[in-house]
Copies of this chain bind each other. A is one copy, B any other.
Amino acid sequence: MDILELESFLPYRLYRLADAVSREFSKVYKDRHGLTRPEWRTLSGLGQRGTMTATALGEQSAMHKTKVSRAVAELERRRWLVRTPDEDDRRVEHLTLTKAGLAAYREMVPLAKAFERELLAKLSVGERGSIARGLAALESGLTSDKNGP
């Protein structure tokens, strides 16, 4: 009889790994600032790009509109970002971190980098290369057929 070995099934392995890593990293921003993942991604996106619209944020960080909307609302409530209406299109808002938001971002960046470094530190150089190539390959394999007919 034909069976499936869950432990070596790629979707499962990927998910489990990502879940473990993400859960571990979430401690960093949760413990430090009580952020949720969508909030962290929003902070990160704005810190990186300077100013973005909600839609752009959603695309960059692969989040559903509603996640973005709620994350932005919360960061605004904390006064970590401000919205400035677009001149030409009144539906659009440009989001920018405030001083406080930027401070939080600046504090998070080294922690994030350290986390990633530690994660990779356990691997050999060859292994690091393997992940880089493997992930890139899978990523491009996926995104290319996202656009259906």
Binding site for B on A (CB under 8 A): 1-7, 9-22, 24-25, 41, 44-45, 47-48, 60-62, 106, 108-110, 112-113, 115-116, 119-120, 122-124, 126-127, 129-135, 137-139, 141-142, 144
Q: Closest residue of chain B to A110, judged by CB? A: B2
In the complex with contacts A10-B21, A14-B14, A123-B138 CB distance below 8 A? yes
Given contacts A4-B44, A127-B134, A131-B137, 10 further A-B contacts (CB under 8 A): A9-B44, A10-B21, A13-B135, A16-B62, A17-B138, A122-B137, A123-B137, A130-B130, A130-B137, A131-B135
Q: Closest residue of chain B to A2, judged by CB? A: B109
